[in-house]
Structure 1
Amino acid sequence: MENRELAEQLVSKSIEAFIMGLEVYNKPTIRYRIEGFSFFITNAWELMLKAKLLNDGVSIYFKNNHDRTLSLNEVITKVFPDKKQPLRLNLEKIVVLRNTSTHFITEDYETVYAPLFQSNVLSFGEQLQRFHQHDITQDTPQNFLTLSATMAPLTDEQIELKYAPEIAERLIFQKDDIATTSALNPTDKFTIDIVHYLYQVKGKDTADFTFKIAAEGEVPVKTITRRKNPAETHMYSHNDLVNEIMRRIRKQKINFEYQSKERIRRDFTSSLLTLFMNFYDMKADGKYAFKHVIGNSERYSYSQAAAEFVVSEIKKIRKILLRI
């Protein structure tokens, strides 16, 4: 079969998978819609991007086994080589959901992933037009591209009360991870927030719902003391912290360089951060690191104070070297 003909078939199947994902997500009677949508949308992207590679004359098969095609992650890497590209980050987060949703099924994943899903749907239409000159609105009405999200705000405390510790920790970690990545990539190519605005009005007849501080009203409201959220105090993953340190080095115009085995390098790497972490035992200091326990595994997120500390130590080391 010619590559062009195969690419056309892949695009056709991709569009069908995309529409099935929309139908699953927007049907209120389906409770498995988060997992179902993630399966269909990732399949749609995989087929569409493989068609793009074929049209570019790039093989989609393993070198030593033409019976197997590349995985979605491998295809994403080929088409979107920039690791920091918001669309690539968006896709990779949804792929993680697809890969793990069968093991950690919760109704509240929608509160975490709905903004990613909405951004992803619009990006699919844009990339389909860009790579294959096909308008997705020829296959589904424009208004169907707006997802019907039935989510409500969810606090860490509510998650911990509702789920077993392993599931709660995982959901909290993913929520914080996506929130942090979104803060570092404030673009609709990563997330499109679904926001509900509440206004206090004087006329009860004009209100959509009522709340109560006294005995009247439908919904009780009270002032609470909120614990610190790691997404606010420790917002960086390991790689995000590397990028933040490098950004500060450049912004402060620090002449940073070191001799590796092969050459003189001027970039702050993940390996260097690990050396700093181990030498100063930063993970043991809550000011710098927050430990997330998920089942039998542990993950860490890091604070701005960690970035400031590493940069300050680099400055001190540089001053010492200049005196020698």
Structure 2
Amino acid sequence: MKSRTRAMLDKSIAAMISAIEIYNKPDFNYREETFSVLCINAWELLLKAKVLQLSGNQVNSLYVWEHRQLKNGGKSKKRFIKSNRAGNPMSVSLYEAHRIVTEDYGVRISAAVKDNIVTLAEVRDNSIHFINDDLSLAVKVQEIGTASLQNYLRLIQEWFGPVLDKYNFYLMPMAFFRGFDSVNGETLNASEKKLLKYIKSVEKNYDGENLTDYNLSLRIDVNFKKVKSGSGIPIQISNDAKAPIVRLAEEEIMDKYPWDYDVLTTRLKVRYENFKVNNQYHRIRKPLETDEKYCRKRLYNPSNAKSGSKSFFNPNVFKEFDKHYTKKN
């Protein structure tokens, strides 16, 4: 049976694959708008999968909690799960999921990733106002979308291991299905102009930066050249039966040991009133890193036993820290 984390992650991947398939259709008049809707949905599900992983698969970590209004006009001390119009628990938003991951658990996510998501969300939110038929806006959406895919792939690899090895994630360059030499007679309407202006204003914040692991937008330059026989890129196809076993073990490790050093430190700060990052903390933590009940080393490259590694902790490590620190009320 799948864990809640893996089920949520699979839904995220399915949404992103659908976004790519829609975008890469040779004839689709609602291309950029539909891609942005599905891509943002994939990001929201990915962040929620991370919240589930960090919280030990506790589904209530995704619920919106509220203090109810009392008859005397005050607020209840106890928190209750907020319901949606259908009477089901209301889940946190995309941006709240991002806040939980980065603030409540201390996971570091590049500012370019959030700005990319926010910018793509603007395309989604403005889709109701237009059906894009202008090349300048289409190009900009592809640049934002290409960077979003790269950011998505890198974060999944970092958070959940090599679960996307069997997929090809790319957006087909527009040179394959649009003529760059001829632009449609349509011009940007008022809504499109404002959206394009907003995207360019965000891009200015990254004008002086070089290409990094995480980016706001990426441009694909396509050049058609005649290729001689034998000049293609060499490839190697593997049918190694052991590969799925490695992926499964990697997923299990990340599910059981979801906290790295930064997350562990953040959670300890939240839990204890007298906790400090000092020599005492390091003296307590170091021996725990050798105890498989609380810690597991994860290889940067699971297929290479000699590659570097990083320590990940099980939330049960609280039991040991409880012996040394005072919990907050």
TM-score (norm 1): 0.51
Please name the residue that 2:318 is paired with: none
1:37 to 35, 48, 51: 35
**Gap change, CA 1:53 and 1:127, over 3 Å in 2:** same
Question: Is 1:187 equivalent to 2:211 in the alignment?
Answer: yes
Question: Is 1:119 equivalent to 2:147 in the alignment?
Answer: yes
> Is the Cα contact below 8 Å between 2:133 and 2:186 reproduced in 1?
no
Q: Matched residues in 2 for 1:172 and 1:124: separation?
A: 23
Q: Matched residues in 2 for 1:63 and 1:30: separation?
A: 41
**Gap change, CA 1:185 and 1:102, over 3 Å in 2:** farther
Please name the residue that 1:71 is paired with: 93
Q: Matched residues in 1 for 2:185 and 2:102: separation?
A: 37
Q: Matched residues in 1 for 2:206 and 2:15: separation?
A: 27
Larger relative contact order, structure 1 or 2 (CA cutoff 8 Å, min sep 6)? 2
> Is the Cα contact below 8 Å between 1:118 and 1:147 reproduced in 2?
yes
**SS of 2:128's equivalent?**
coil
Q: Matched residues in 2 for 1:48 and 1:136: separation?
A: 13
> Is the Cα contact below 8 Å between 1:62 and 1:69 reproduced in 2?
yes
**Gap change, CA 1:170 and 1:6, over 3 Å in 2:** same
Please name the residue that 2:126 is paired with: 100
Q: Matched residues in 2 for 1:131 and 1:194: separation?
A: 27
2:3 to 2, 5, 9: 5
| 1:168 Cα deviation from its structure 2 partner | 5.1
Query: Which structure has the highest helix share of the two?
Result: 1
1:170-249 counterparts in 2 under 5 A? 170-188=194-212, 189=214, 190-195=216-221
Please name the residue that 2:171 is paired with: 147
Question: Is 1:162 equivalent to 2:164 in the alignment?
Answer: no
Question: Is 1:87 equivalent to 2:113 in the alignment?
Answer: yes
> Is the Cα contact below 8 Å between 2:16 and 2:42 reproduced in 1?
yes
Please name the residue that 1:110 is paired with: 138
**Gap change, CA 1:175 and 1:12, over 3 Å in 2:** closer
Q: Matched residues in 2 for 1:161 and 1:29: separation?
A: 18
> Is the Cα contact below 8 Å between 1:17 and 1:40 reproduced in 2?
yes
Q: Matched residues in 2 for 1:92 and 1:83: separation?
A: 14
TM-score (norm 2): 0.50
> Is the Cα contact below 8 Å between 2:23 and 2:32 reproduced in 1?
yes
| 1:105 Cα deviation from its structure 2 partner | 3.0
Q: Matched residues in 2 for 1:182 and 1:36: separation?
A: 26
Q: Matched residues in 1 for 2:124 and 2:16: separation?
A: 15
Q: Percent identity?
A: 22
Output the amino acid matched with 2:111: Q
> Is the Cα contact below 8 Å between 1:159 and 1:172 reproduced in 2?
no
Q: Matched residues in 2 for 1:23 and 1:38: separation?
A: 12
| 1:102 Cα deviation from its structure 2 partner | 1.5
**Gap change, CA 1:175 and 1:51, over 3 Å in 2:** closer
Q: Which runs of 5+ in 2 are unaligned?
A: 67-81, 84-88, 225-329
Q: Matched residues in 1 for 2:40 and 2:130: separation?
A: 18
| 1:160 Cα deviation from its structure 2 partner | 11
